[in-house]
Chains A and B, each alone.
Chain A
């Protein structure tokens, strides 16, 4: 609104003009009144003072005082109260004849004051003191001129300058109003104002779109048409509690359809009247998203609870954010109460010390997988494999980690079985050739590393084939099992006994401090196998023997093949001798 339309400029000018007029008039008037009063007072005092002097003269010479002209002239010429204004004194007798007067010329207008001349209390004359008011009038005129200048300055300072400031301020206010209007008009939220009876007073375009009305159509409608679930008249807003905060309710469009809105209600003075301001936000999309999120969470929970894996999520302090049903049940914890617990509380102090470093690595951003044996609360031990994945949040900051735990106990057992079948002789339970080769290579590596030596004993049973042919495979198998048992009894725990052929066995003596030790073991084996076996249900007595070839690392070979070949060659030579043992000899080998 233009400033001129407010009537304010006219009022300000009127006030300023009034004050300026008061200044212009009061200054000279005040000066005149004060100065005139002072002059009148001074004249009166002067007249009285002169009268007192004349009265003294009268008292000294009551008969002829009026003829003492020199003294009367001197008194008349005397200025008693200063010479701020021209002054003329007259001494009059009782007939008002001038006895004496001062010679001063007075410019009119003239102010006169008088005092009686007394002779023993009887008035015998009058003293007049006149003062020219011309200087006072000139000063008053100058004061009036100054007053006019001051009035002009007052008018300028009270009218022109404030109006300019007001115009600037109003311009700024209009700009601010336009800015706020633009903000309101372009706000995403719907902004509606109601009077205290709940009638719509205004609404912004967003609100009109939200409720499917035009701006003009919505005006004067009741709040119940737009917000059927809220009685604004009873909203309970007061000056002490001007806001209801945020609430969710249902809005109703012009066609009667409802939609969820989030509403902030507050009360404020608008245009001098208390009104309710409702800021409405259509939360249809958000509600759908929230529902979708809840559905997704439910699905995720359902899915997580029903996958065989155990899954859990931890925050950066290793407190559980989530654990699926399998995980909670595995650790014997209530699924509903695990959230918020620390990992230590669930796995126990000892286990936590073992796995803490792994979790720290995951929280450091490094994924890892590890296995451990977990002892459950019922005392059962289970093999589990845990895959830890860092949980990266915004800006790749680690916010925790995910743990996918798999119970691999059955898998481990199956693997052990497979390993056993693959590496052991199913009849005797001894390592087969495959495992023998592996152990031999391992022994070579260790001996090479430690600069030690070890012995490889190669055995071949004597007279086994006739037993097998005559007593059958079952007895033959039983014989082989018996041989295996006796061989295991003759060697150290650290030594490896393997069945590498039908009736061929090997012994790897992992550590051979002395050559004689190999001889001793070979002798013990020969002696053990020479003792008769009682086989079959009939306990049939069977006697066999064995020949043992001994090769020593590294003297007789530096790799597995050379060693086996050397031991086999030594065993062949021993078999030629018959049920004895022989060390490998390169010369014999050449002869052979």
Chain B
């Protein structure tokens, strides 16, 4: 009996030891890794940012997930599926009530682009309206203009509508017209703009830079879409990117956010086509 009691006690201690080991390992793993996901337009810069962060924190495992979109990023953060979300919009009051919070961290020029194989280098807002309303269908060299559209609810479309009231109407007309290529994600959009002859669409400067896309930003109304022109206020079209976190972000997530807002992070932002935003 005594022997049996000793064996049972040993068994209990052994099992408890194994359980503690697994628990600690889990906590350690959780503490050293985070998942980052969100709008595709910001993911390129975040990847560069993660690489730079790993230089000082090589133990940290930062995983940048494929594009989820802004809404997907917020939902994923709220669901705990990702630790840090990248969004092209601030969280809504409803999302905020659920525990999500957002803070702007960068601003990148929202640019009208074409494939590098095309000869076009600039366009006016008026011409852009004509293109989206279907009145202008050819480039100056006579080749056809092929619009790359996005879903009506996409942030790019919302940004384009904001160009002007005429542009808003032209976008509505373009969406109603069948036959346009509609890209679902920012990466699909950039890929179509690269490959489709005579392409014309919109994306962000940071996506072009960080993903090394073969597209040419067009000078709009005589203003080149650069960080300088944006910072100087000459170029007025941009997208603001937000960091989204839950109620209790992990330490690593907090550390990574802090890194983004650090001078090193600011450098990476500038290198990746973004102007740093401080809130």
Please give the residue numbers on chain A whose beta carbons come within 8 Å of chain B beta carbons, in ascending order: 60-61, 63-64, 66-71, 73-74, 77, 103
Given A64-B37, A64-B65, answer yes or no on A71-B81 (Cβ-Cβ < 8 Å): no
Q: Mark B147-181, 1 if CB is under 8 A from A, else 0.
A: 00001111000000000000000000000000000
Q: Are A70 and B81 in contact (CB under 8 A)?
A: no
Given A73-B153, A74-B151, answer yes or no on A67-B185 (Cβ-Cβ < 8 Å): no
Q: Are B76 and A70 in contact (CB under 8 A)?
A: no
The answer to whether B71 has its CB under 8 Å from any CB of chain A is yes
The answer to whether B273 has its CB under 8 Å from any CB of chain A is no
Among B37, B65, B82, B154, point to the contact of A70 (Cβ < 8 A). B154
CB-contacts of B84-142 with A (<8 A): none
CA distance A411 to B182 in the complex (A): 147
Q: Are B65 and A69 in contact (CB under 8 A)?
A: no
A–B pairs, 15, beta carbons within 8 Å: A60-B66, A61-B65, A64-B65, A66-B81, A67-B69, A67-B73, A67-B81, A67-B82, A68-B68, A69-B70, A70-B72, A71-B69, A73-B153, A74-B151, A103-B152
CA distance A64 to B83 in the complex (A): 12
CA distance A502 to B15 in the complex (A): 210
Q: Which residue of A lies closest to B73 (CB)?
A: A67
Q: Are A61 and B66 in contact (CB under 8 A)?
A: yes
The answer to whether B206 has its CB under 8 Å from any CB of chain A is no
Tell me, rounded to whole Å, the shortest Cβ–Cβ distance linking A74 to chain B: 4
Q: Are A67 and B75 in contact (CB under 8 A)?
A: yes
A60, A70, A71 — most chain B CB neighbours (10 Å): A70
Q: Which residue of B lies closest to A61 (CB)?
A: B66
CA distance A77 to B154 in the complex (A): 13
Q: Are A64 and B81 in contact (CB under 8 A)?
A: yes
CA distance A63 to B182 in the complex (A): 26
Q: Are B72 and A64 in contact (CB under 8 A)?
A: yes
The answer to whether B67 has its CB under 8 Å from any CB of chain A is yes
Among A60, A70, A77, point to the contact of B69 (Cβ < 8 A). A70
Tell me, rounded to whole Å, the shortest Cβ–Cβ distance linking B96 to chain A: 18
Q: Are A70 and B151 in contact (CB under 8 A)?
A: yes
Q: Are B75 and A69 in contact (CB under 8 A)?
A: yes
Q: Are B68 and A69 in contact (CB under 8 A)?
A: yes
Q: Are B151 and A67 in contact (CB under 8 A)?
A: no
- 19 more contacts with CB within 8 A, not counting A64-B72, A70-B184, A74-B182, are A64-B66, A64-B68, A64-B76, A64-B81, A67-B73, A67-B75, A67-B76, A67-B82, A68-B72, A69-B69, A69-B70, A69-B71, A69-B72, A70-B69, A70-B72, A70-B185, A73-B151, A73-B153, A103-B152
CA distance A527 to B68 in the complex (A): 190
Q: Which residue of A lies closest to B38 (CB)?
A: A67
CA distance A77 to B184 in the complex (A): 11
Name the B residues within 8 Å of A74 (CB-CB): 151, 182, 184
Tell me, rounded to whole Å, the shortest Cβ–Cβ distance linking A73 to chain B: 6
Tell me, rounded to whole Å, the shortest Cβ–Cβ distance linking B190 to chain A: 14
| A-B residue pairs, 10 tightest by C-beta | A67-B72, A67-B76, A74-B184, A69-B72, A70-B69, A69-B71, A67-B68, A69-B69, A70-B184, A67-B75
CB-contacts of B43-80 with A (<8 A): 65-73, 75-76, 79
Q: Mark B25-50, 1 if CB is under 8 A from A, else 0.
A: 00000000001010000000000000
Name the A residues within 8 Å of B154 (CB-CB): 70
- Contact residues of A: prevailing secondary structure: helix
Name the B residues within 8 Å of A63 (CB-CB): 65, 81
Q: Are A64 and B82 in contact (CB under 8 A)?
A: yes
Given A63-B81, A74-B184, answer yes or no on A68-B66 (Cβ-Cβ < 8 Å): yes
Q: Which residue of B lies closest to A99 (CB)?
A: B75
CA distance A285 to B37 in the complex (A): 131
Tell me, rounded to whole Å, the shortest Cβ–Cβ distance linking B86 to chain A: 12
Name the B residues within 8 Å of A61 (CB-CB): 65-66
Among B66, B70, B73, B151, point to the contact of A77 (Cβ < 8 A). B151
Q: Are B37 and A67 in contact (CB under 8 A)?
A: yes
Given A63-B81, A74-B184, answer yes or no on A68-B67 (Cβ-Cβ < 8 Å): yes
Q: Which residue of B lies closest to A75 (CB)?
A: B184
Q: Which residue of B lies closest to A63 (CB)?
A: B81
Name the A residues within 8 Å of B73 (CB-CB): 67
CA distance A568 to B68 in the complex (A): 186
CA distance A467 to B154 in the complex (A): 193
Name the A residues within 8 Å of B70 (CB-CB): 69
Name the B residues within 8 Å of A68 (CB-CB): 66-69, 72
A63, A64, A66, A67 — most chain B CB neighbours (10 Å): A67
CA distance A71 to B35 in the complex (A): 20
Tell me, rounded to whole Å, the shortest Cβ–Cβ distance linking B191 to chain A: 14
Q: Which residue of B lies closest to A73 (CB)?
A: B151
B65, B72, B73, B185 — most chain A CB neighbours (10 Å): B72
Name the A residues within 8 Å of B79 (CB-CB): 67
Name the B residues within 8 Å of A70 (CB-CB): 67, 69, 72, 151, 154, 184-185
Name the A residues within 8 Å of B185 (CB-CB): 70-71
CA distance A283 to B17 in the complex (A): 142
Name the B residues within 8 Å of A69 (CB-CB): 68-72, 75
Name the A residues within 8 Å of B75 (CB-CB): 66-67, 69
Tell me, rounded to whole Å, the shortest Cβ–Cβ distance linking A75 to chain B: 9
CA distance A68 to B70 in the complex (A): 9
CA distance A63 to B81 in the complex (A): 8
Name the B residues within 8 Å of A73 (CB-CB): 151, 153, 184
Tell me, rounded to whole Å, the shortest Cβ–Cβ distance linking B156 to chain A: 10
Tell me, rounded to whole Å, the shortest Cβ–Cβ distance linking B148 to chain A: 14
CA distance A71 to B186 in the complex (A): 11
CA distance A103 to B153 in the complex (A): 10
Tell me, rounded to whole Å, the shortest Cβ–Cβ distance linking A297 to chain B: 114
Name the B residues within 8 Å of A103 (CB-CB): 152
Q: Which residue of A lies closest to B77 (CB)?
A: A67
CA distance A68 to B72 in the complex (A): 5
Q: Which residue of A lies closest to B189 (CB)?
A: A70
Tell me, rounded to whole Å, the shortest Cβ–Cβ distance linking A104 to chain B: 12
CA distance A60 to B72 in the complex (A): 16
